[in-house]
Amino acid sequence: MVNLFSIDTSDYKKVSDILKTNVKKYNARLLVYDANGIGAAIRDWLNKESVDEHGNVLEGLGIINPPPASRKDVIQYSPQKTICYEIKATGEKADQIHQIFFSRISNGAVRFLIKSSAAINRFSLNEGFRRASNLTREKKLRPFLFMDRMELELKNLEVVDTSDNVNRTMRIRRRDSKIQKDFFSAAEYSIYATNLYIELDYYGKRRKTGTGRAEDYVFID
């Protein structure tokens, strides 16, 4: 997890403009969003062209898995621009999302940034960082500060194994209801969607080649 950031507005157009801007900035292959409740409204804004507050035209993005009732209303784009994957984490799917996330954490497939205090100590050894403005330093440290918040969210979670002899299930509970779990949810949704939409397809195609080479089973991006 190399970066986290917060969008401090509830205006769907502004949120979608920021997301589309970052998709273009990082040439993203996948944009995952929470479609539970009012979150489903972001689909329409992501799907259509818009103009941001600076007058920049932002292209619409295709929806990979729109719900059946919305398919006829969704604007179709080329495969390269169809990168939006929506998730409704309820019931059995929520269990799968939790399981994939924690399994990736436990096997080292997903690692996190160092604590902000450690980052400050390291950056302070750099003369350029010491001479930089407060704004520049704050921007440099922002991902680490947000990671501290995510760590706080993780420590607040209680993982409850509710598996029986037939089904393997997992429930997540917050110990302190005042502490949100937004960064945690964003992380586990993205890991789940990447596994489902990119990794499984990638490995499936590699297995069909029948080459048997070890490098064919290594996912690098």
Query: Is residue 101, in this structure, part of any structural domain at all?
Result: yes
Query: Is residue 196, in this structure, part of any structural domain at all?
Result: no
| Average pLDDT for 67-76 | 91
Query: Is residue 147, in this structure, part of any structural domain at all?
Result: yes
Same domain, 102 and 171: yes
Same domain, 105 and 77: no
pLDDT at 220: 45
pTM exceeding the 0.95 threshold for the entire prediction: no
Query: Is residue 8, in this structure, part of any structural domain at all?
Result: yes
Whether the Cβ atoms of residue 47 and residue 75 lie closer than 8 Å to each other: yes
Closest by Cα among 135, 158, 157, 154 to 146: 154
The sign one gets for the Cα dihedral 179, 145, 38, 72 is negative
pLDDT at 139 > cutoff 80 = yes
pLDDT at 197 > cutoff 90 = no
pLDDT at 187 > cutoff 50 = yes
pLDDT at 16: 95
Percent of the chain with pLDDT over 70: 90
